[in-house]
């Protein structure tokens, strides 16, 4: 059998299932600590158990789920110390990425980022948080790419995989969401001005504000290892 006969769709099923699960975890469809019922998820995602279990292994390697002996898989639930420490590290990484990006950004990069900012503004105006967050994620990933440091980008990606659900929820409060979009405008301005120290300051402050928002929600629910869905 030559390459043209290979079952391409079947080979991509685990990756597609993993991406669907990532979105469900990020957007609250699967809550922190939730048990993952294989039969229900197979029906929901339209896949068999084999690609679903491979998707579980992918997400376990990213720290999004845990697989427990004789108990199946469940979504990871971070505690308050986990949240503080993860956001502290992510803030430092994004700050460094911002400084490097200011040294290496091109006009073409700025055109792309301005387009993404406009899309974020539109999603914000229509209160479409899922769309806003997906574009927001693309902005941060693009900035890491502009920094042109593969080790930094890989480290950020690995840590951020565990934080997407928390970052998403930090915008549920409208006032905090309004502030976040305003901060993104300032970030783009600092990047366009090639002001690395200012962009670092903005990125670190942005992450600190998100960390505080998440911790406030956790305390409000009085559930130290979970977040509201």
Round to whole Å and give the CA distance between 125 and 32: 29
Matching fold, domains 3-75 and 80-221? no
> Which one of 1.10.260.40, 1.10.10.10, 3.30.365.10, 3.40.50.10420 gives the CATH number of domain 3-75?
1.10.10.10
Whole-number Å distance between alpha carbons of 27 and 52: 19
Closest residue by Cα to residue 95 from 10, 15, 208: 208
Contact yes or no for 31/229 (Cβ under 8 A): yes
Does pTM top 0.85 for this prediction?
no
Q: What is the DSSP string of 114-161?
A: HHHHHHHHHHHHTT-HHHHHHHHHHHHHHHHHHTT-HHHHHHHHHHHH
pLDDT for residue 227: 38
Predicted local confidence at residue 153, as pLDDT: 94
Q: For the chain, what are the domain ranges? A: 3-75, 80-221
What pLDDT, on the 0 to 100 scale, is given for residue 169? 76
Distance of alpha carbon 154 from the chain centroid: 13
pLDDT for the residue 34? 92
What are the Cα distances from residue 114, in Å, to 56, 108, 135? 36, 10, 12
Any idea which architecture 80-221 has in CATH?
Up-down Bundle (1.20)
User: Which of helix, strand or coil describes residue 75?
Assistant: strand
Angle subtended by helix axes 38-45 and 8-26, to nearest 10 = 110
Which tokens in the block code for residue 182? 């305003």
Cα 171 to chain center, whole Å?
Answer: 13
DSSP per-residue codes, 15-73: HHHHHHHHHHHHTTSS-TT-EE-HHHHHHHHT--HHHHHHHHHHHHHTTSEEEETTTEE
**pLDDT tens, position by position, for the chain (229 residues)?**
444 344 434 447 899 999 999 999 988 899 888 999 999 999 999 999 999 999 999 999 988 999 988 788 999 988 899 999 999 999 999 999 999 999 999 999 999 999 999 999 999 999 999 999 999 999 999 999 999 999 999 999 989 888 888 888 777 778 888 999 999 999 999 999 999 999 999 999 999 988 988 888 777 765 444 433 3
- SS3 at position 172: coil
Q: How many CB atoms lie within 10 A of CB 84?
A: 15
């Amino acid at each position: 059998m030559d390459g043209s006969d290979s079952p391409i769709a079947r080979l991509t099923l685990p990756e597609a299932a993993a991406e669907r699960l990532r979105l469900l975890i990020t957007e609250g469809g699967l809550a922190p600590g939730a048990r993952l019922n294989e039969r229900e998820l197979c029906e929901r995602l339209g896949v068999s158990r084999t690609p679903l279990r491979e998707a579980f292994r992918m997400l376990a390697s990213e720290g999004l789920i845990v697989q427990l002996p004789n108990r199946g898989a469940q979504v990871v639930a971070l505690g308050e110390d986990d949240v503080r420490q993860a956001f502290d590290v992510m803030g430092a990484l994004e700050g460094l990425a911002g400084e490097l990006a200011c040294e290496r950004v091109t006009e073409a990069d700025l055109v792309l980022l301005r387009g993404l900012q406009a899309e974020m503004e539109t999603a914000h105006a229509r209160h479409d948080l899922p769309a806003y967050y997906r574009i927001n994620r693309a902005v941060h990933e693009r900035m890491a790419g502009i920094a042109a440091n593969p080790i930094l980008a890989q480290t950020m990606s690995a840590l951020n995989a565990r934080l997407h659900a928390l970052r998403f929820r930090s915008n549920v409060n409208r006032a905090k969401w309004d502030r976040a979009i305003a901060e993104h405008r300032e970030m783009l301005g600092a990047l366009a001005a090639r002001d690395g120290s200012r962009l670092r300051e903005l990125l670190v402050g942005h992450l600190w504000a998100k960390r505080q928002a998440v911790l406030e929600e956790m305390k409000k629910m009085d559930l130290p290892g979970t977040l509201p869905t």
